Amino acid sequence: MLRIWVLAVVVAALALGAGQAGAGELGETPMFCVNAGELGLAGSPPDLMASVFERGRWRPARIYIEPENVTFVLVPLLTGNNTEVSKAFHRGALPPPVLRNETKICVEAAPGVPRTRPPGHGRLVELERRGAKHHVLIARAADVADPTAFDLAMPRTARGEKPDKTRWHEAGEKPPAQPEADVYTISLAQTLNFWASFRLHRATATVGPGGYVEAVFDLPPEARDAAVVLTAGTTPGRYGYAVYKGPVLIAAGSVTVYQGQIQTALAWLGGGGGTYRVRIYNDNSHRSEIYTEVLTNVENRQYFRNDVIRTPRLIVLLALPRYAINTHLIRNSYLAVPGFIVDAASSITLRIYVKAPPEAVQLGDRLLVYWGGLYLGELRGYRVDAYTMEFNGVVTVPPSLLIYLLPTKGLGGVISVGPLTISSPTVFTIEVTAAVRRPQELAAAGNDVYAKYVRRASETFLFLDRRTYMAKLEIFSVVREQGSERYLELSTMPFSDMLGSFYTKVRFYVRFYDSSLRPVNIVVAAVGHEGVQTVSWWGQVLKNISWWRGEVLKNIPFLSAALGLYDLVKSTYDALRRSIQSFPVVGYVTFLLDSFVQAASADVKISVLNGHILVIELYTGWYNDPLTTRIITSLDTPPAYFAVTGVEYFVDGVWRAVYRVDVPAWPFTTVGVVGHSAPSGGFAFRTLLCGAQETLNSPSVRCDPAYFR
């Protein structure tokens, strides 16, 4: 018996050891660990990326930064006065905000010396170990020209060899600055360079040992690059792959997915449109869950679309959680705001306002901004008086980070600001607004796909004050020969295990414009709307009753179009939650698509203000479940643009204004082109409506997984 136990312990130890093994132990390129000071990186922010030159090309190299323990403070849980404070504190790990001399950096290095120019500006590090020379290029995220050749630094304590000698010199050229005018000009259609991600529905499954999954997808001819990516949630282990473009095998090999890895690119496929077929083999001896996304970089003519995700100005009273009473002080705390979901973007701009007592700000006059575990940049603050410091600034997400944000739909969706020291009790104010300049579809403007319902823009209001849910207003439109049809959809997505959405109101002010940006008059506020729908246990019961089933199914089509993407986001986030502990990932409550019922106590009111402003007011009633409603408005002339020019919310007896403008103010106003010229051939796949690619014979206004590719 004892022998069996000893054997079991040995096996367990070996298994654990294998789980922690760096690449060096797995017989790949060796892992080296050096102090940041030796690389001249002391004082640098932690947004490092690494690349090595191997077999004639630069490829991503894994890089880890020794993290420090931090506390994420989930802001919405502290806006009420009777919430469970302890739930708001999430222990995590981030790389130090400023690398210290002794911060350990572990990086994969390839043998030899590179012969071509590096794909970005950074430090070319030469490492010598037992006479053998190795090299790696370490660059900051903003200095990376070709992000596909780099891997982003992850916070983790890794193991590796200590080099005998370390030398480095600056190498490569910085990428050209992004053309800004392009981003802020409103036009019907313009050339846009963007990254987008979508799920390979048929290659996301559980596979037995030796089994495989296979999926087909199409990329438009303007695709400049694309990758098949395994995202977090994929069981760690080894996977083989083969990618065909048409009948031609263009990539094959195998990759290792490590524990806690956000994503692992199977292969970069290069540019060019066409039909791709990907097959992923489970090379492990255990059943594996596989989550597959396609990430692509496209440059084509796009209808204008600018989405905004905004929070109100949140005032939080931070008292200490129970476990910190002995220390009376929490260092390295980050205010965390959830709800930032993105699946495609050309550029993302964040406007952040923070008010904090000066003694709480650890870095003097600086606050750092993170999205998930990714460092985005810093905010500079100034002292208002002896007791207050204000930070009000704009942070642009470095384009090289988009490839890490998109496949996981925003990496858990949490934006954090810190580090702060919380000495009990302290009052903070925070407001975050994200502007996402993005494509309407993968296909270029005017393609066939616009003859089906396509999401033209969406405004997300993060209701995080005393309640926690997203209120999302989206416009869907379809182009016809004789004009366009459109409808607005308003839905709520509560965060799971948080406060819920009950007894609140939210009001959106919407305007339509013609092609020269003159307001279009509204004839009838609501030609039709089906009332507010929800799903609940009684819906589950009722759907099994035959006379009711017809009623339920009648309502499905429009409901699933808006919310299909969020079922997918939910499954992505649930998988991410299981595998990532170093930063918070917030879950959502979503639907089963076939059990909707009328939400009796919820209500939507639609009215017209001044003849041209549509006012949509949703009352959530007692529901914590998601709600959704569709509105069709009649206008006197066909509109070209749609914009959300105001948001207000009502909670605990008071109306509060969040945002109000008369004309779109850049870039923090949601604007979309609502259909223009009639479609003429081209890319025949809808991709960004449901988060998975559909063929054009799929149902027009719903997301049906049966039609996903």
Partner 1 sequence: MTRLTSADFRFGLKTSLFLYLLNVPFYLVYVTGLYVVPPIYLAVATTFAAAYWMACGLYRVPVAAYSAVLAAVVLDIVAPPSAVFGYTPVALHWVVFTAPAALLALVFYALAFGRGLWRLVSLALLLAAVVAGHLYLLLAGVLWRLAVPPLPALPPEFPQPQDLPLYVVLYELWRKIHQRPAIRRHMAAVGYSHGTPPGRENRRDGARDGGDQRRLNIRPVELRRTNCETT
Decide: is 650 part of the binding site for partner 1 (CB under 8 A). Answer: no
Q: Pattern 450-479, binding to partner 1, x per CB under 8 A? A: ------------------------------
In 3D space, the residue among 331, 316, 312 whose CA is nearest the CA of residue 425 turns out to be 316
Number of Cβ within 10 Å of residue 44's Cβ equals 16
Residue 512 Cα to chain centre, angstroms: 28
Residue 184 interacting with partner 1 (CB under 8 A): no
**Under rule CB under 8 A, which residues in 56-85 are in contact with partner 1?**
81-82
Tokens describing residue 539: 């819906």
Mask of contacts with partner 1, 500-539, x by CB under 8 A?
x-xx--------------------------------xx--
Residue labelled with tokens 């802020």: 184
Select 412 or 587, whichever has its Cβ closest to partner 1.
587
CB nearer to partner 1: pick between 346 and 504? 504
Identity of the residue numbered 601: S
Site for partner 1 in 18-47 (CB under 8 A): none
Q: Which residues of 521-540 are buried (b: 16+ CB within 10 A; e: fewer)?
A: ebeebbeebbebbbbbeebe
Contact 291/422 with Cβ under 8 angstroms? no
Contact between 87 and partner 1 per CB under 8 A: no
Cβ closer to partner 1: 107 or 498?
A: 498
- Return the structure tokens found at 365: 């006059």
Q: Give the binding range for partner 1 (CB under 8 A) out of 37-45, 313-321, 471-479, 494-502.
A: 494-502
- Between β-strands 305-310 and 454-463, what pairing exists: parallel, antiparallel or unpaired? parallel
Closest approach of partner 1 to the CB of residue 536, in Å: 5
Which is closer to partner 1, CB of 226 or CB of 498? 498
Q: In whole angstroms, how close is the CB of 504 to partner 1 at the nearest point?
A: 9
Structure tokens at 213: 């999954």
The answer to whether 467 touches 708, Cβ cutoff 8 Å, is no
- What is the closest distance, in whole angstroms, from the C-beta atom of residue 484 to partner 1 in the complex? 37
Under the binding rule (CB under 8 A), the answer on residue 498 touching partner 1 is: yes
Q: Tell me the closest approach of the beta carbon of residue 494 to partner 1, in angstroms.
A: 9
Give, in degrees to the nearest 5, the angle at Cα 435 between 398 and 645: 165
Shortest separation between residue 343's beta carbon and partner 1, angstroms: 26
- Residue 667 touching partner 1 (CB under 8 A): no
497 binds partner 1 (CB under 8 A): yes
Which residues contact residue 327 at a Cβ distance below 8 angstroms, ignoring those fewer than 6 apart? none
Nearer to partner 1, 265 or 559 (CB): 559
Considering the complex, state which of residue 462 and residue 599 has its C-beta at the smaller distance from partner 1: 599
* Residue whose pair of structure tokens reads 């004789």 in the numeric block: 482
We find the least distance from the C-beta atom of residue 627 to partner 1, in angstroms, to be: 11
How many whole angstroms separate alpha carbon 658 and alpha carbon 310? 9
Specify the residue, 582 or 624, whose C-beta has the smaller distance to partner 1: 624
For residue 652, state whether it binds partner 1 (rule: CB under 8 A): yes
Q: Which stretch binds partner 1 (CB under 8 A): 157-165, 228-236, 372-380, 618-626?
A: 618-626
Q: What is the CA radius of gyration of the chain?
A: 26
Output 206 or 540, the one with its CB closest to partner 1.
Answer: 540
Minimum distance from CB of 569 to partner 1 (Å)? 19
Shortest distance in whole angstroms from residue 604 CB to partner 1: 17
Tell me: does residue 496 bind partner 1 (CB under 8 A): yes
User: Using an 8 Å Cβ cutoff, are 286 and 207 in contact?
Assistant: no
Q: What angle do CA 365, 369, 375 make, to 5 degrees?
A: 120
Region near partner 1 per CB under 8 A, out of 26-34, 399-407, 412-420, 495-503: 495-503
Q: At 87, is the secondary structure helix, strand, or coil?
A: helix
Q: For residues 387 and 622, which CB has a smaller minimum distance to partner 1 in the complex?
A: 622
Specify the long-range contacts of residues 376-380, CB closer than 8 Å, at least 24 apart: 376/47, 376/350, 376/401, 378/45, 379/352, 379/354, 379/417
The reply on whether position 316 binds partner 1 by CB under 8 A is no
Nearer to partner 1, 218 or 625 (CB): 625
Stretch that binds partner 1, among 87-95, 117-125, 440-448, 619-627 (CB under 8 A): 619-627
User: Binders of partner 1: how many residues, by CB under 8 A?
Assistant: 16
Query: Which of the ranges 425-433, 496-504, 655-663, 695-703 carries the binding residues for partner 1, by CB under 8 A?
Result: 496-504
Residue 625 binds partner 1 (CB under 8 A): yes
622 binds partner 1 (CB under 8 A): yes
Angle at 363 between CA 358 and CA 367, to 5 degrees: 85
Q: What angle do CA 690, 693, 696 make, to 5 degrees?
A: 95
**Is residue 624 within the footprint of partner 1 (CB under 8 A)?**
yes
Nearest to 469 by CA among 508, 433, 497, 432: 497
Nearer to partner 1, 352 or 535 (CB): 535
CB of 120 to partner 1, least distance (A): 45
Cβ atoms of 270 and 284 closer than 8 Å: no
The yes or no reply on residue 623 touching partner 1 (CB under 8 A) is yes
- What's the CA gap between 388 and 428, in Å, rounded? 10
Task: Give me the phi and psi of 613, to 5 degrees please.
Answer: -110, 120
Our CB check for partner 1 shows the closer of 495 and 583 to be 495
Q: Does 362 bind partner 1 (CB under 8 A)?
A: no
For residue 584, state whether it binds partner 1 (rule: CB under 8 A). Answer: no
Residue type for position 617 = E
Which of these segments, 271-279, 313-321, 490-498, 676-684, binds partner 1 (CB under 8 A)? 490-498
DSSP 535-584: E-HHHHHHTTSHHHHHHHHHHHHHHHHHHHHHHHHHHHHHHHHHH--SS-
**Residue that the structure tokens 């609140």 belong to:** 504
**Is 387 an interacting residue with respect to partner 1 (CB under 8 A)?**
no
Mark the segment that binds partner 1 (CB under 8 A) among 127-135, 152-160, 313-321, 498-506: 498-506
3-class SS letters over 108-139: ECEECCCCCCCCEEEEEEEEEECCEEEEEEEE
Residue among 81 and 516 whose Cβ is closer to partner 1: 81
Q: For residues 495 and 471, what is the distance between their CA atoms, to the nearest angstrom?
A: 11
The nearest distance, CB 620 to partner 1, in angstroms, is 9
472, β-bridge pairs: 460, 491
Shortest separation between residue 84's beta carbon and partner 1, angstroms: 8
Residue range at the interface with partner 1 (CB under 8 A); choices 310-318, 381-389, 493-501, 555-563: 493-501
Determine the Cα–Cα distance for residues 309 and 363; give it in Å rounded to an integer: 28
Residue 447 or residue 534: which is nearer to partner 1 going by CB? 534
Query: What one-character-per-residue DSSP string does 330-392 give?
Result: EEEEEEEEE----SEESEEEEEEEEEE-GGGBTBTTEEEEEETTEEEEEEEEEEEETTEEEEE
Closer to partner 1 at the Cβ: 535 or 674? 535
What is residue 141's three-state secondary structure? strand
CB of 408 to partner 1, least distance (A): 24
d(CA 197, CA 228): 10
Choice between 23 and 627, CB closer to partner 1: 627
Position 653 contacts partner 1 (CB under 8 A)? yes
Round to whole Å and give the CA distance between 542 and 552.
9
Q: Which tokens hold the place of 218?
A: 């199409």
Taking the mean position of all CA atoms in its chain, how far away is CA 477? 24
In whole angstroms, how close is the CB of 81 to partner 1 at the nearest point?
7
Q: Which is nearer to partner 1, 154 or 589 (CB)?
A: 589
Q: Which residues bind partner 1 (CB under 8 A)?
A: 81-82, 496-498, 500, 502-503, 536-537, 622-625, 652-653
